[in-house]
Chains A and B, each alone.
Chain A
Amino acid sequence: MRITYPHMGNLYIVIRALLTSLGLELVLPPPTSNRTVELGVRYAPEFACFPLKLNLGNFLEARELGADTILMAGGVGPCRFGYYAQVQREILEDLGIKMEMVVLEPPDTNWGELKDKIRYLLGDRSWWELVKAIRFAWYKARAVDLVEERVLYLRPRVVQPLELENKYREILHRIDEAPDKRELDRIVKNFFNFSQRLPRKSGSFLRAGLVGEIFTVLEPFANYDLERRLGLLGVEVTRSIFLSGWINEHLFRGLLRVKGTKHAKKLAAPYLNSFVGGHGRETVGSTVDFARQDYDGVIQVAPFTCMPEIVAHSVLPAVTKDYGIPTLTFYLDEQSGEAGIQTRLEAFVDLMAARRERMRKENR
């Protein structure tokens, strides 16, 4: 069994930790690239969401490297993600590609289904080993998130952005290789010490919240490296979703004390009074949350044709009206042009800056 799984930002580090500590053999797809897009777009349905296309590209590239089993998450609706694996399986079958698909999702009829799938992956390893592996993967997720949060804070502030990016990449690599929690703690501490010594610009910086569908928020390739673009334009970005928060809510049922989206969900009413699948409700709630914390603007990202985010986007003008917070939405797919995104970002940053200046004068 040579397992592969789709890329989503730095998730690969977390899943790698999980699977290798169970002694499973992995074939990681090459980092998502233009070729991945090309492959995915060629075989996926035209109006499928961007993540499905990228996933499919990942699988096809991993297949070339010898993967024979796909590990996927699933769901039971109404967001299309819950049916990804089924559609992807049909596409692969028509391409004559035989790959086993293990889809981990909330069981439809009984928990035995899920248990069987995990058992299949575990082979003759014990459940205790699984628990230990999950714990280790969790530490990695936390380490990645702490570093990312710090990078988001630092990007607009550092004098030498390139130095920061290089260090960031190096740290991710070291987290990926770290054999135990002690080493992880050391790496994170080391990075924080390093970040203290970085020469910084002075002044105040614009703050933008990033909301939207989880894949397009977390995968820089899908969002055209939006966080870094904003950082270079002098904007500190706060993400509404982090990997560890998501894992805590979906895997640990919110038992751990990590900032999640529960709070945001509550803030969505009265603008959005129902769940709408995906992260639609969280998108609206997080926008309210950022508005209340006096952020300068909110950016929403979503795959083109994403249903929950279209609902969220539809109601955002009402939030803007009540709180005066500007919002900008990007629908992303293989057709999105880099230049267009950069131009719209620059215009939005100008807008945020002008608004802040205006408010400063009014408050004087």
Chain B
Amino acid sequence: MVTLGIPRALLFYYYYPLWRAFFTNLGVQVIVSPVTNKKILDSGLHTALDEACLPVKLFFGHVLALADRVDYLFVPRLISVEHKAYICPKFMGLPDMLRARLPHLPPIIDLPVDFHRPGPTLDDFFEAVGSIFTQDRLLIRKAFQSAHETHQQFQKLLESGLLPPEAISVFEDEEVTHRRGQDNFLKIGLLGHAYNLYDPFISMDLIGKLRKMDASVITADSLPPDLIEQRVKRLPKRLFWTLGKKMLGAALNFFENKQLDGIIYLTSFGCGPESFVGELVERWAKRRGVLPLMLLTIDEHTGEAGLVTRLEAFLEMIKRRKKNENHLSTYG
């Protein structure tokens, strides 16, 4: 059987169920890189450019973890996944960056996904990808349909409150270990890119830590996409980053969510779009003064002890605030 490697990094957390359903229906065996560990991160750090951001370096590590085990690597060139918005320039050049720096990779499937302007559709993309493996048009179409259905189920699971890694494990027939607790003492709105938040190694299990500290989390992925779109429509200028829009929209929702006790924004060092989006969220949070906000910036040098200390201090502060409702500064 032909094998195809999918790196457990970057947009894996949004599209893996879709991709997996498509390829397995085509009769391709999908192999995912292991959950991030130190070895994977280190191999990424050694091969990617120093100036690249942590998520891109990590992607290099995951590609290397797959390189010797698969016939193909799946690294679509994600230029734009929706009308008039991009993800980040680095996604556009990702396959080229890999080829230039890792010369002995298996063939990379890097067909472009570009929905910036009306024209090519997701259908066209999968037809092109599918025809690498089979000439059977009908099979490709069926595989795409079932992939599409899987993606919709995945979206529903997210809206029901599962976080992406939990929703993904549903499709992997694994036991779902945690469902969102409704009765934790604290409720935290968690902002940040999926590939940082849901990678337990990179985020140093931020979500698990929060839950252990008696806090439940809600992320941008738990909010209905329409609601987010509605909120960002109010911006004076349309934001042209898909993920940035998600963060801003979620933040605007969080500001008005009466049940939340605080917001934590996890960003990676040197993230381009985040340097602007985080700035806007921080300024608006301060102006509104409703919810305490903490920005956590991580990179490959971040220590766990520092993170824990800051988390504890932040949660302690909002606990006190909760007890003396409205008597404390909201500036964190």
Give A contacts to B, CB under 8 Å. Answer: 45-49, 76-80, 82-83, 85-87, 89-91, 94, 108, 271-278, 280, 304-308, 310-318, 331
Contact = CB atoms under 8 A, between A and B. Distances in A.
Nearest to B279: A45
Given A273-B96, A274-B77, A305-B51, 5 more contacts: A47-B269, A79-B89, A86-B237, A86-B280, A108-B237
B89 A311 contact: yes
A80 B93 contact: no
A89 B89 CA distance: 24
Given A48-B279, A274-B96, A305-B270, A78 B89 contact: yes
Nearest to B51: A310
Interface stretch (B79-87, B201-209, B255-263): B79-87
Interface residues of B, number: 44
A307 B100 contact: no
A82 to B, nearest CB: 6
A311 B90 contact: yes
B119 to A, nearest CB: 15
B97 interface: yes
Contact of B89 (A47, A87, A278): A278
Contacts, number: 131
Given A280-B89, A311-B90, A318-B99, A83 B84 contact: no
A45 B278 contact: yes
Interface stretch (B142-150, B215-223, B238-246, B314-322): B238-246
B178 interface: no
Contact of A77 (B52, B240, B274, B278): B240
Contacts of B86: 77-78, 277
Contact of A311 (B93, B235, B269, B283): B93
B275 A274 contact: no
A83 B237 contact: yes
B283 to A, nearest CB: 5
Interface in B60-79: 77, 79
Contacts of A49: 272, 275
Q: Which of B89, B90, B236, B278 has the most CB of A within 10 A?
A: B89
B200 interface: no
B276 A83 contact: yes
Nearest to A89: B236
A308 B49 contact: no
Given A48-B276, A80-B275, A305-B270, A314 B88 contact: no
Contacts of B269: 47
24 contacts: A47-B271, A48-B275, A48-B276, A49-B275, A78-B89, A78-B92, A80-B273, A83-B276, A86-B236, A86-B280, A89-B236, A90-B280, A90-B283, A274-B112, A276-B92, A277-B92, A304-B270, A305-B51, A305-B275, A307-B89, A310-B89, A311-B93, A314-B97, A318-B99
